[in-house]
Structure 1
Amino acid sequence: MCGGRGTRLGGETEKPLTPVAGRPMVDRVCDALDGSRAETAHAVVSPHASATRAHLVDERRPDLPVIDAPGDGYVADLQYAMAAVGGAESGGPPLLTVAADLPLLDAAAVDAVIDAARAAGDGDAPRSLTVCVPAARKRKLGVSADAVTEVDGREVVPAGINVVGDGAAGSDDGNDETDDGSDETDDGDAAVHVTEDVRLAVNVNYPSDVRVAERLLGDGEPDNPKPDDPEPDG
């Protein structure tokens, strides 16, 4: 998903093209997807992100499938894209949806989300999965924590990466802690995966988020910090 204006970031640069440690965020996310087990990536753009579209098609990968969403907001454009691709809800394969504002994302983090969806389903048919990060984790890292909601009495924030799979697949009768210390909660049609993974905890919405992401990446080094890396102060 790379069709946002990025008004909260300010400036003239479209949000997906905002540089973090010298590289556009959307390139970092594309690299993560390219190295993951996700089979095919589609760039969902909008009239608000014409420069992003040109960058992806003309500079990065001319063969990248592009979906031109109407630009009616994230949720509306996401629904448009899912209908265009045809996912599990319409008899097609499960879909992984990813926002372009996750500059710490890497292939291993993407695969961990895919594995969580499969664990919540029956293995072969991934369950629909909503990925969230505790608001306290984001605040400790020093990044914005907008759109706070509550899961089992804990404040969480959507991470911007989810799986749309078989909502009826598998069963989960409570709040079970997984091997990586994250939580799985059954929410009816979809499971909620709560994780403290730093690679999923940093969404860039404000200039201050860019600074935190760059500090965590460390002077533009390509290797993303792992979940157990020490957190910065503030």
Structure 2
Amino acid sequence: MLDERLAHWDKQGVTALVFTHPLLPGTVSMSHSAWYQNDFEDEQAISDVLSKYNDVVAFTSHSHSSLKQNNWWGTRRCDGTPQGAIGLPVVNTGAILNEYLPDGDHDEEIVDDKAATGLRVKVYDDRIRVEAWDFKDGHGPANPEGEAKMIKYQDLAKQYRLSTPTVQPPAEPTPETDADSVSAEGSSAGAKAALVIGIVAALGGAFAFIASQFGDQLRGLLPAPIAGLR
């Protein structure tokens, strides 16, 4: 079961790479098309599971969409969980032999019937790097086999689960340490009191100096008293 496997790897702190052939609507290239809105029997069910975990990257296929498009990856946000607010990265695998581009809002057209593209995924401690590759770029009469060439890449930051540290209650003093604790607390309190008094005294002295130096100037700025008023 997907939920159980994701929970297992989440506890291990391992990034989960989830691959589906059906296309997740509203995520990557051409997934807005009417052709791909019902690939999943229960789209809400898989969204509810994926949105529970932070450290997950989903890879989706089926469309034969070209990896040269700028929206070859996207973020799917799912309401209902704190993790869902962060969003789930979704990437077009681009593992195709027939390469398509959109034709209007809901149609598509083939641009290369002998394509050879796909992804290379590298997992680091702090990120996932997804590279889009053309595995036959540069082919021609002098180079019939072609050579691999990276089209572009995207770094996806790992989203670790946020947790609130457990607050430990203060330890109960024992008879052996009670006297020492009181003495230490008294000494600490006395030092703090002395520090506060020193700061107040310093501020008071500074204020007195300023008042003595600028008192006459400040009084000169005040309006003259009105006769009959005190």
Same-fold status (TM-score > 0.5): no
TM-score class, shorter-chain normalisation, is under 0.3
Q: Higher Cα Rg: structure 1 or 2?
A: 2
Provide TM-score, normalisation by structure 2.
Answer: 0.26
Provide TM-score, normalisation by structure 1.
Answer: 0.26
